[in-house]
Structure 1
Amino acid sequence: MAAPSKVAAALKAPDRAIRTEIMADVMRRHEASDGACTFAQIAAAGFSEAEIEAYRDDARGLACGRVEPVLTVPAGRVEGVALVREARAIRARQAEARV
């Protein structure tokens, strides 16, 4: 089992969508030839244990054509990051005014 911090990092990786699609392709390829895809086959394709834990459910959905996983930034995150940036700028200006 991968460390929770590594799984969280894999879920936040900028290339998550690409890696999930690649994993789905690996699953399709092995399912067609062997009837099933194993953990070892995915690891042999270059995925770490944390990536396998983080991406496998979304990749299964893509491989079966069921649901398109949400691989974009959550709706409020961009706005939240902008607000944090603005708050830090305000605090910096206030700190400069005190000095």
Structure 2
Amino acid sequence: MSLDTATVRRVASLARIHLEEDEVSRLQGELNGILAWVEQLQAVDTTGVEPMAGGGIAALRMRDDVVTDGGYPEKVLANAPDREGSFFTVPKVVE
């Protein structure tokens, strides 16, 4: 896969990267080099090779979603600079 200059400008625009005219050709070469390496990696036959990490979410042991701590509003609010009841008081940020 090879990127043309219009695609490089589009990618830069989507990434919010400002490119000067002389930088477009340099970036085009770099991106085409990266894509060539990806194509080379995709050509490697990996059938029968076990993954070294990961394994998906099925490998994770699920636990019950229960509260294991909390219910101590006085301890939590002890260092609060300002509070109202069992809530933190913060300055108004929206006018």
TM-score of the superposition, structure 2-length normalised?
A: 0.28
Structure with more relative contact order (C-alpha pairs < 8 Å, separation 6 or more): 1
**Which protein is richer in strand relative to its size?**
2
Structure in which a larger fraction of residues adopt helix: 1
Look at both structures and tell me which one has the larger radius of gyration over its CA atoms: 2
